[in-house]
Amino acid sequence: MIDNGFPLTTEPNILREMIAPPNIVSKMLSVVTGNSSNMSNNLPGATASCVPWRTTDLKHAKNEVYVDLVEEMDAIINRDGVMVKCEIYGEVQVNSHLSGLPDLTLSFANPSILNDVRFHPCVRFRPWESNQILSFVPPDGQFKLMSYRVNKLKGIPIYVKPQLTSDSGTCRINVLVGIRNDPGKTVDSVSVQFQLPPCILSADLSSNHGTVNILANKTCCWSIGRIPKDKAPSLSGTLVLEIGLERLLVSPTFQVGFRIMGVALSGLQIDKLDLKNQPTRPYKGFRALTRAGEYEVRS
């Protein structure tokens, strides 16, 4: 919403009420009446509210709120297997379906590990500054309550050990994957991806678990899925170098992917979630998910 050329209202909740989304009925009415405007003639009730991100007089037949910890692990492992960097970028995502004007308080068991925190406008800053407690009136539906970073982690869930040896115009490659630090939950959607150097003419790769595909842009994608308990997945094969090149001069970097449901590898734990201004006791659900972000293994 623009007032004299300046943005006056940018809250999506208010804009959705002011500007109706197009549909078949509105298109038919615009043809019949000649009025193509889908703007409301009245200002939404939340315009003058102290919580403009929330619609007034909300009512839900079933009151419930879900809190998810979603984390991405960024790590760099050098060619000697030494961890150069390991950190977590995380988000606290909330899906709220609560009637009226609920007042929520979320606390963590170990908030001191959090760095670079950023909050949704609904979060009151003073309770966090004094006691590291999130106090807020939530928007309706799904939103990102806060984001954070956890630095200098020492443990990674899986290892990837590449080994490349080249001689006489060919390069032998062998990659092993396995569990390094058991997170206590199933590690699935494991994948390893790397770019073949331009000097590679052809590649013959196979694995004892999962599938291996080489795309047209010379990207090798190894989809492992879940790591079996009885054997370590391995990829092996031969790379043929271009004519006149005896050894591989550029070593590829391996991009690793994984997903772990039910655990936050940063160690962040939710202590409790309190709700006020609710006539009935709502349902509260909590989940955690960690997946790979920029997870690199250099060879």
Instruction: Please report how many Cα atoms fall inside a 13 Å half-sphere around the Cα of residue 99, on the Cβ side.
Output: 11
Whether 220 is in a domain gets the answer yes
Rounded average pLDDT over 92-108: 93
Residues 285 and 139 in one domain: yes
Residue 118 belongs to domain spanning: 64-154+265-298
Looking at per-residue confidence, does 104 or 278 come out higher? 104
Lowest-pLDDT range, 23-37, 85-99, 169-183, 227-241?
A: 23-37
DSSP-assigned letter for residue 169: T
- Which tokens is 224 given? 């492992």
Residues 256 and 183 in one domain: yes
What is the structure's pLDDT at 205?
A: 92
Residues 74 and 141 in one domain: yes
Mean pLDDT computed over every residue of the chain: 86
What is the structure's pLDDT at 19?
A: 63
What is the structure's pLDDT at 111?
A: 94
pLDDT above 80 for 299: yes
Residue percentage of the chain with pLDDT more than 70:
83
Strands, E, within 81-169: which ranges?
83-97, 103-108, 115-119, 123-124, 133-136, 141-150, 158-167
State how beta strands 64-77 and 283-298 pair.
Answer: parallel
Lowest-pLDDT range, 43-52, 129-138, 232-241, 262-271?
A: 43-52
Rounded average pLDDT over 61-68: 92
pLDDT above 90 for 128: yes
Whether 12 is in a domain gets the answer yes
Residues 269 and 123 in one domain: yes
Residues 74 and 116 in one domain: yes
pLDDT above 60 for 238: yes
Residues 274 and 222 in one domain: no
What is the spatial distance between Cα 224 and Cα 212, in angstroms, rounded to a whole number? 9
pLDDT-based confidence at residue 135 (cuts at 50, 70, 90): very high
Residues 43 and 90 in one domain: no
Residues 145 and 269 in one domain: yes
CATH number at residue 104: 2.60.40.1170
Question: Which segment, 26-30, 166-170, 233-237, is predicted with the most confidence on average?
Answer: 233-237
- Which tokens is 270 given? 């939710």
Residues 93 and 112 in one domain: yes
What is the spatial distance between Cα 49 and Cα 255, in angstroms, rounded to a whole number? 48
Residues 99 and 139 in one domain: yes
Instruction: Please report how many Cα atoms fall inside a 13 Å half-sphere around the Cα of residue 244, on the Cβ side.
Output: 1
Lowest-pLDDT range, 31-40, 187-196, 239-248?
A: 31-40
Looking at per-residue confidence, does 67 or 62 come out higher? 67
What is the spatial distance between Cα 194 and Cα 221, in angstroms, rounded to a whole number? 7
Whether 294 is in a domain gets the answer yes
What is the spatial distance between Cα 289 and Cα 2, in angstroms, rounded to a whole number? 40
What is the structure's pLDDT at 36?
A: 57
Whether 227 is in a domain gets the answer yes
Question: How do residues 244-286 score in pLDDT, each as one tens digit?
Answer: 888 888 889 999 999 999 999 999 999 999 998 877 888 999 9
Residues 172 and 218 in one domain: yes
Whether 53 is in a domain gets the answer no
Residue percentage of the chain with pLDDT more than 90:
57
Q: What is the pTM of this model?
A: 0.81
Rounded average pLDDT over 170-188: 92
Question: How do residues 7-32 score in pLDDT, each as one tens digit?
Answer: 556 666 555 565 666 667 666 666 56
Question: How do residues 77-93 score in pLDDT, each as one tens digit?
Answer: 998 888 999 999 999 99
pLDDT above 90 for 39: no
Residues 41 and 101 in one domain: no
Whether 55 is in a domain gets the answer no
Whether 56 is in a domain gets the answer no
Rounded average pLDDT over 95-108: 92
Q: How many domains does the chain have?
A: 3
Whether 59 is in a domain gets the answer no
